Amino acid sequence: MNAHNDFPPPRRGPQRVGKRVAASHRATKSGRARRVAMIAARLLVASTALAVLAGTGLAWSATQDIDTGFTHSTALGEDPPRSRGGAVNILLIGLDTRKDLNGNDLPQQILDQLHAGDGTEGGYNANSLILLHIPADASKVVAFSIPRDNYVPVTGIPGYTQLKIKEAYGLKKAAVQAMLIERGETDPVVLERRGREAGRASIVTTVRNLVGVPIDRFAEISLAGFYDLATAVGGVDVCLNNAVDDSEFSGAVFPAGHQHLDGAQALAFVRQRHGLFNGDLDRTHRQQAFLTSVAKSLRDSGTLTNLHQLSELMDVAHRDVVLSQGWNLFDFARDLGAAGSVPVEFRTLPVVRYDVIDGQDVNIVDPDAIKREVRAAFGQETPPAEPSATTSPPTTTSDTMPLPDAMPLPDAGQPISTELGDTIPCVN
């Protein structure tokens, strides 16, 4: 395991050394027994998985195939800043595209299920961005949702110094592809793949600069991936505070209360923003509920200890998921599973106000306040605050839109806490 991003073994306390050898031996045995009992629950999932693999004669090389089947990306850079002390920060990127990794349109039968238009729609917006922090002892996971309309500083995108954070991927991809075409590149697969790599690097850099903490790993998943993942785990359980009918846009038509959604319905659930009280900000809570439900399905179904189910899940992931270079998902799932039922605290990055810039609705944020809040939530030292020139947009292009009294800004100080896989929160 890599010391900087995998869970370390449980630390042993100091051993008592007595003068009597027999008493010391008994104390050592007793202490060892207590320690074994304390970590038994944490190791249950991993031990069971390994037992199943060994019992069925599955070679270690087969588990390596799970990792080698993924598309890996070098978008983190050659020597990125890393978290210290064994903690790990993971950026989850939900990409709003109707194309596969080679730039081909998805099959029509899949597009019909997605209820998301054809391959010409959606572009390459990073509509879902969630930053996970897992401390070295895996005692609690903190997950920050990053609203897609946050208006943030960017670098390296021609013609832009600020934009909606969701656009940092697609605009960089388009700029790099245009440059390659000017240089004579004509292969559409090369253009797609190199453009996407540039987009990934752009969104990682933009998020890292905004939150002020390292990003150790990332995973990118497309619309089809959301659908395939929900289908592979047998659907997801959700709870809605109110009935919704968004048949015109996302296809979300659900009654209030607890219900079980299939893959297509689950995608509609996480995509809906029209008709919700807080629009995109309510959608971030749905994404959080989706992740909680998937975790519950994986736990309850025993997927990680069932070779057939694990194989199906990995097939889905191989098609739809891109991982940062060096991330072995099998080892990660095993180690996180060994941690048992982990408390998860879902938060949303704070927003100062809503605004309209160049005809677009945006969220105005305070980058310094965001850095302080993220560092505090991750248990990291906070550097002295510096005045920020990017807190507010240029007045020449801004038409401030006051918020109605009935639409409060999200309160990042009231995080949603849950046990991973234990509770499905009710959302709007």
Residue 292: the pLDDT is 82
pLDDT at residue 272 in the model:
84
Three-state secondary structure of 356-397: EECCEEEEECCHHHHHHHHHHHCCCCCCCCCCCCCCCCCHHH
Q: pLDDT for 271-311, tens place per residue?
A: 887 887 777 778 888 888 888 888 778 777 777 666 666 66
What is the pLDDT, as a whole number, of residue 122?
Answer: 52
Percent of the chain scoring above 70 in pLDDT: 68
155 and 205 Cβ atoms separated by less than 8 Å: yes
Q: Cα(316)–Cα(236) distance, rounded to whole angstroms?
A: 16
The answer to whether 126 and 93 are in contact (CB under 8 A) is yes
| H or E element that contains 200 | helix 188-211
Q: What is the pTM of this model?
A: 0.75
Q: How many CB atoms lie within 10 A of CB 123?
A: 17
| pLDDT value at 333 more than 80 | no
What DSSP line would sit under 59-89, residue for residue?
-HHHHHHHHHTSEEE-TT-SS----STT-EE
Q: Regarding beta strands 150-153 and 360-364, do their DSSP bridges make them parallel or antiparallel, or are they unpaired? A: parallel
Rg (CA), the chain: 23
- Rounded CA separation 39/34 (Å): 9
Instruction: Report the pLDDT value the prediction gives residue 423, as an integer from 0 to 100.
Output: 59
Residue 168 β-bridge partners:
none
Locate 418 and state its tokens.
């849950």
Summarised one tens digit per residue, pLDDT across range 66-112 is 667 889 999 999 889 999 899 999 999 999 888 888 888 877 777 77
